[in-house]
Structure 1
Amino acid sequence: MFGFLLRRTAAGLALIVVISFITFVLLSLPENDVGRTLLGPEAPADLVAAKNAALGLDRPVLTQYADWLSHALRADFGASWFTSEDVTAAIAARLPITLSLMIGVTTVTALASFGLGVWSGVRRGAVDRAVQILGVLGYALPGFLITLVIVLVFAVRLGWFPAIGYIPLSQSPAGWLSTVTLPVVALSIGAIAGASQQVRSAVIDVLSQDYIRTLRSRGLPARTVLFKHVLRNASAPALTVLGMQFVGLLGGAVLVEQIFGLPGLGSMAVAYTTRGDIPVIMGLLTVTVVGVVTINLLVDVAIGLLNPKSRQT
């Protein structure tokens, strides 16, 4: 197991370095004249050159990246070129908001998709058809349309939840729950639709295996067969899908945070990317990739515990 973890961790670290390097190089192309962007199109060329030199942009790209990487390893992403705000502090202030959404969506998706998928795969018939129809609808409807309908019904018409804003958990647990409920629901619908179908297919496949029929013929209770054998073997593909959907949710969080007025990493990415603020972009990219690698590592560990054969890959 240790060797398995070591290989997965090394691959994740290599991925972080490769993605950050490629992004840094693309952002440092000659067409991206940072000094001109900061000073304006009417600024004299000598002032633009001086500004680029002050930011260290006149150095070779490899030197710039090595300098950035050495600071990033100490969680120092520098300061924003436009606001002079410390990037690490800015990300740390907004990270809990996005994490609240991601953890909430992942929890809701896991519970709902496993419940619906197992129910559908075991019961079949009308239940199976109903779950499949709901899954197709949830997966096919545009995310922004679902979000707008949820806001219109539950925030504007019924007034059960606030339409915009965020209350920190430390300030008021009830207020925090009220501000994250609708965003979590909006992000969870499409995720549940996809994951539940994967769980259903995995459960049906496991139930058709010979060893399941053998266990049943020995008189084992149906509950024991389901929870001890079927779910254990059907969980691996479902966990893989959940890990992949977590990555997709990061993109959906950008839209949801904009609609609900949540000051998380998604809204921060939109604001600073349009400016071309490289220190902030690189900081956000690093945090995002580290999060994705961490989730994938946890999924790999969970699958490795469920299926020891997967540790050999």
Structure 2
Amino acid sequence: MMLKLVARRLAWSVPLALVASVVSFVLVALLPGDAARSLLGPNATPEQLDAARQQLGLDQPLWVQYGKWLSGAVRGDLGSSLINRQPVAEQLNDRLGPSLSLIIGAVLVATLVGVLLGVRAARRGALGRIVQTGAIVGLALPDFWLGLMLVVLFAVKLAVFPPTGYVPLGENPAGWLNSLVLPVVTLAVPATAVIAKQTRDAVASALDQTFVRTLRAAGVTEFSVVYRHALKNAAIPVLTVIGMVFVGALGGTVAVEFIFAIPGLGGTAVQATSAHDLPLIQGVVVYFTLIVIAVNLLVDVAYGYLNPRTRRS
């Protein structure tokens, strides 16, 4: 049954990836700018620009360009960058690690802290009001402002963490962890607020159910009631918001990677868009789409594990 669920979700992922590639291809083509101009510079003559567009295939109709790209993409060939002529897949593979390190780290921190805060606040009282207020404040803080404040405090004044840069895990695990602390916290703060509020509401609702009163009357410890029964009952809405947080973190990496000079997919997307580098932008869209599909699939599998009835949906 679980294999059928996975197969159905993967089948739905194919049209999703196709639609995402078409939409991004058209939108990028409509943006002002010219890859030939970015490549040759502002002093290029019209003849030179026309020759560059012809060489790059930019003089062809948009549907022809997309068809050529798609025919290569289904074979695993995402083409080459229009600007540096390097294979897109190689460039993005080099930048995938930093982005995933940042996103996964932020989601793990947000999930751990958010769930613990939410469960504690579910019993209402002062902590519940603090979590409610903290969620509003956390969501209102812009990523770029929070990142800059953390750099000023912990990198400039206290000199505890490096202000910018990324150290690969294979080179220096301690340096890798040290370089990720500030960007992970920057990305995790609003995510923690969302998860904490959802956990608080879901667990509080579960604690009001009849089965909880029955468990307490039977002498089950409060810890077991909350963490083994109420939290499990509230797990599906919490998992939903965690999946949404992960997907939302993909967009948040753009600002965070720029602030902390992390060579990830978000910064690459910004650079490719400014240069009108269509193959590189399409490659980023493909990678982001595959990440979203993988996250949604994991969430669906978790749904099926927690609630067997969802396996048939």
Deviation sequence 1:101-122 (CA, Å, 0-9, x none): 0110011011111100011103
Contact 1:4 1:312 in 2 (8 A): yes
How far residue 193 of structure 1 moved from its aligned partner, in angstroms, is: 0.7
2:76 corresponds to which letter in structure 1? Answer: A
Deviation sequence 1:97-152 (CA, Å, 0-9, x none): 11110110011011111100011103x21221222222222222222221111111
Distance 1:62 1:111 in 2: 46
The aligned residue for residue 282 of structure 1 is: 282
Does 2:50 match 1:43?
A: no
Q: Pairwise mapping of residues 172-183 of structure 1 onto structure 2 (< 5 A)? A: 172-183=172-183
Q: 1:78 to 1:9 in 2, by over 3 A?
A: same
Q: 1:312 to 1:172 in 2, by over 3 A?
A: same
1:312 corresponds to which letter in structure 2? Answer: R
Distance 2:68 2:170 in 1: 37
Deviation sequence 1:34-90 (CA, Å, 0-9, x none): 545545675335x54443333334444444323212322333211111111221111
Alignment TM-score, normalising by the size of structure 2 = 0.92
Deviation sequence 1:179-205 (CA, Å, 0-9, x none): 001100111111101110000000011
3-state SS of the aligned residue for 2:65? helix
Distance 1:33 1:104 in 2: 37
Distance 1:175 1:10 in 2: 41
The aligned residue for residue 88 of structure 2 is: 87
Deviation sequence 1:190-222 (CA, Å, 0-9, x none): 110111000000001111112222222233232
1:97 corresponds to which letter in structure 2? Answer: P
The aligned residue for residue 53 of structure 2 is: 52
Distance 2:274 2:34 in 1: 14
The aligned residue for residue 298 of structure 1 is: 298
Range with greater deviation from structure 2 (12-21 or 28-37): 28-37
How far residue 5 of structure 1 moved from its aligned partner, in angstroms, is: 1.5
Does 2:26 match 1:25?
A: yes
Between Structure 1 and Structure 2, how many residues are aligned? 311
How far residue 178 of structure 1 moved from its aligned partner, in angstroms, is: 0.7
Range with greater deviation from structure 2 (174-183 or 9-18): 9-18
The aligned residue for residue 157 of structure 1 is: 157
Contact 1:151 1:163 in 2 (8 A): yes
Range with greater deviation from structure 2 (275-284 or 203-212): 203-212
3-state SS of the aligned residue for 1:77? coil
2:166 corresponds to which letter in structure 1? Answer: Y
Q: 1:187 to 1:34 in 2, by over 3 A?
A: closer
Distance 1:273 1:27 in 2: 7
Deviation sequence 1:222-276 (CA, Å, 0-9, x none): 2332233211121111111111111221222111111111111122111121010
2:12 corresponds to which letter in structure 1? Answer: A
How far residue 156 of structure 1 moved from its aligned partner, in angstroms, is: 0.5
Alignment TM-score, normalising by the size of structure 1 = 0.92
Q: 1:93 to 1:171 in 2, by over 3 A?
A: same
Cα RMSD, aligned residues only: 2.1
Contact 1:139 1:190 in 2 (8 A): yes
The aligned residue for residue 266 of structure 2 is: 266
The aligned residue for residue 79 of structure 2 is: 78
3-state SS of the aligned residue for 1:174? helix
Distance 2:37 2:172 in 1: 45
Q: Pairwise mapping of residues 121-160 of structure 1 onto structure 2 (< 5 A)? A: 121-122=122-123, 124-160=124-160
Distance 1:25 1:291 in 2: 21
Contact 2:165 2:262 in 1 (8 A): yes
Contact 1:233 1:307 in 2 (8 A): no
Contact 1:254 1:266 in 2 (8 A): yes
Distance 1:33 1:223 in 2: 62
Contact 1:36 1:43 in 2 (8 A): no
Structure 2: 5+ residue stretches without partners: none
1:79 corresponds to which letter in structure 2? Answer: S
Distance 1:33 1:56 in 2: 12
How far residue 20 of structure 1 moved from its aligned partner, in angstroms, is: 0.3
Distance 1:161 1:37 in 2: 36
Structure 1: 5+ residue stretches without partners: none
Aligned-residue identity in percent: 45
